[in-house]
Structure 1
Amino acid sequence: MNLPLLPLNTVLFPDCALDLQIFEARYLDMISRCMKQGEGFGVVCIVEGEEVGEPAERFAAIGCEARICDFQQRPNGLLGIRVEGARRFKVQRAQVLPDRLTVAEVDWLEEPDEQPLSAEHEDLAALRRALTMHPMVAALGMDEELGGQSALANQLSYLLPLTPEQKVQLLALESPQQRLAVLQHLLEQLQGDLNS
């Protein structure tokens, strides 16, 4: 499957919303094609390079499909879009087209069936509820009831102030249980650092 890529300094997770401002010709064309064909594009985290100008030199091999759910012209005249994370993918091969758009051959990653939350997840669920009260998070409309372990793992991985490297590692993990265990560990480390 060939997927156009938008390399960013951020990591998108399934079921998470991201607002983007589009102004480069290659990406305006890409968004126009995606909307006409009802398809998504891939968001990958930049490892080396910039978001604007020359194509990113290196980006993470694991990314997330972005589906356009809303768009409007911003007061500054630029195109604003809201995307929602869909399927995770692994980049097999990528090439830069003459218009400087990067297109990749990707494999979709398996998503396990959603598992219900249990008592052991209560602290993490409470943290996620607290995060969704932040005005910037509330503006993304990510405050609906949680579906289960995948939703909790994805939203916490997305919303917590972790490094891009940590977020890419979390996105690459196969199961939500693994993701939640790593998040718990990272939060305990953070707590330890704050208390020391």
Structure 2
Amino acid sequence: MEIYLPLFPLNLVVYPNEDLNLHIFEERYRQLINECLEKECTFGIPAFINNKLPGYGTEMSVTTLHKRYEDGRMDIKTKGLRVFRIVNFENPSPGKLYSGGKVQVVEIDPEMGDHLDELTVKLVRLYHLLQTKSEIDEESPLLSFREAHKIGLSVEEEYELLTLATENERQRMLIRHLNRVLPVVSEMERTKDRIKMNGHFKNLDPLKF
């Protein structure tokens, strides 16, 4: 399905169901958000990476106008809806200050994925090593999108994840990443423990020859 969306390119990747807070200060994007609020319509955040638009992004809805400043700036809360691929890009959109374009909506099935157990075990291990509290809801679909920002992916890798068509593909990508990261983090923790031991009295059992 193709639709036309106002577009707000950003140097980040947003996933479906993700909450994103934005401070709106540029005139063109103040116009965009004001129109979304007035018409109750959506807009798109295409990822802007390495000074270009590679093509994929996420359709967003404005869920809350948190604050409007006297000079027109705004603090808003938004939520990711659907993934899209840009078909044509117009900068600016006809008669507007902001850009826009026709996009192809990417339908994503809310699948659980076949690698859920393996991915969950590795995520729990990483969060334990990092001493980070994170609730992993295995009963909720699209686990890959919900955990992707927390595990140290580069923005290029986060973008690649956005373009993958199935939850199985996304879970396999995260597992490959965690297989690389976990040994590094584990060794860092061992190094930190060794550093903590230096400079302290140690109770050592005498060696028996």
- Find out whether 1:60 has 2:71 as its counterpart: no
Which residues in structure 2 correspond to 1:37-76 (within 5 Å)? 37-49=39-51, 58-73=52-67
- Tell me which residue corresponds to 2:76: 81
CA deviation vs aligned residue, 1:34-57 (integer Å, no higher than 9, x gap) = 1222221111111244xxxxxxxx
Number of residues of Structure 1 aligned to a counterpart in Structure 2: 179
- Tell me which residue corresponds to 1:9: 11
- Partners of 1:75 and 1:36 lie apart in 2 by 17
- Partners of 1:127 and 1:153 lie apart in 2 by 16
- Partners of 1:89 and 1:104 lie apart in 2 by 11
- Tell me which residue corresponds to 1:174: 165
- Find out whether 1:148 has 2:171 as its counterpart: no
Instruction: Give the aligned residue type for 1:185.
Output: R
Residue 157 of structure 1 deviates from its aligned partner by 1.7
Q: Which runs of 5+ in 2 are unaligned?
A: 189-209
- TM-score under structure 2 length normalisation: 0.73
Bigger relative contact order, structure 1 or 2 (CA pairs below 8 A, ≥6 apart):
1
- Tell me which residue corresponds to 2:88: 93
Q: Rg: which structure is higher?
A: 2
Q: Which runs of 5+ in 1 are unaligned?
A: 50-57, 138-142
- Tell me which residue corresponds to 1:123: 121
Instruction: Give the aligned residue type for 2:78.
Output: V
Distance 1:99 1:116, change over 3 A: closer
Q: Considering only aligned residues, what root-mean-square deviation do their CA atoms show, in Å?
A: 3.0
Residue 161 of structure 1 deviates from its aligned partner by 2.6
- SS in structure 2 at match of 1:39: coil
CA deviation vs aligned residue, 1:60-103 (integer Å, no higher than 9, x gap) = 30111111111222789731111111100000110112644110
Distance 1:30 1:39, change over 3 A: same
Residue 147 of structure 1 deviates from its aligned partner by 4.6
| 2:28/2:97 contact within 8 Å kept | yes
Q: Which has the higher strand share?
A: 1
| 2:6/2:100 contact within 8 Å kept | yes
- Tell me which residue corresponds to 1:27: 29
- Tell me which residue corresponds to 1:165: 156
- Tell me which residue corresponds to 1:18: 20
